[in-house]
């Protein structure tokens, strides 16, 4: 998970996110099977408007696994606080609750949420604070030098996003080799996946 800085809430959302959240909450309370639909803005769905803004912040990487580039099927928006959880109905269109994510991370996380889960845009988040990277196994582990609470948070984040899934481990290994065989005067870090292991 690579740190990023969240930009200002887009104007369209700042004006209406609360109203949209309240409407969604009312609909869910009235009908528990109600399915969330992104509101329409001038003939465009809100998610289509927001996705480029969200991806700009992560430089087109997945917010959670840092996979790049995001293909069409991977261009999803994750609700960090799940929209199916009554505690978070109101946040369904809240800027701070929305993250550009790949399909794999969406499928891993599903409707899971834990208060310990780390956010890549939290002011105090940094990969090296919470995690260590094994360049032999290409696996991610909690940083043993931090508090037990921070270690628990790292563990929970690895588990919920399935960051040590075998396919992902292999993809990281291949990317690391590609990085090492690239002329260091020519590379652009953002052209690689998993930037946290390259820094
Ligand atoms: Zn991902």
Residue 185: Cβ-neighbour burial (10 angstroms; 0-12, 13-18, 19+)? exposed
Q: 43-98 pLDDT, tens per residue?
A: 999 999 999 999 999 999 999 999 999 888 888 999 999 999 999 999 999 999 99
The CA distance from 65 to 63, in Å, is 6
Cα(53) to centroid(ligand 1), Å: 17
Residues with CB under 5 A from ligand 1 (ion): 62, 64-65, 67, 102, 105
Q: Provide the whole-model pTM.
A: 0.95
Mean pLDDT rounded to a whole number for the chain = 95
Element (H, E) at 103: helix 103-109
Task: Compute the distance from residue 139 Cα to the ligand 1 centre, in Å.
Answer: 15
d(CA 84, CA 91): 11
């Amino acid at each position: 998970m690579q740190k990023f800085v969240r930009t200002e809430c887009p104007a369209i959302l700042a004006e209406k996110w609360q109203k949209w959240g309240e409407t969604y909450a009312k609909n869910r309370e009235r009908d528990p099977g109600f399915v969330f639909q992104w509101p329409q803005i001038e003939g465009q769905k809100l998610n289509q408007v927001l996705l480029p803004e969200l991806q700009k912040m992560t430089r087109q990487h997945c917010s959670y696994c840092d996979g790049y580039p995001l293909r069409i099927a991977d261009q999803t928006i994750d609700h960090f606080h799940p929209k199916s959880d009554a505690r978070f109905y109101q946040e369904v269109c809240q800027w701070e609750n929305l993250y550009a994510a790949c399909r794999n991370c969406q499928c891993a996380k599903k409707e899971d949420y834990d208060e310990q889960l780390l956010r890549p845009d939290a002011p105090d988040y940094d990969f090296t604070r919470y995690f260590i990277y094994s360049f032999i196994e290409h696996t991610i582990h909690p940083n043993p030098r931090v508090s037990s609470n921070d270690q628990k948070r790292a563990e929970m984040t690895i588990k919920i996003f399935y960051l040590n899934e075998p396919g992902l481990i292999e993809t990281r290994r291949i990317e690391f080799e590609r990085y090492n065989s690239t002329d260091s005067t020519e590379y652009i870090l953002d052209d690689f996946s998993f930037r946290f292991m390259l820094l």
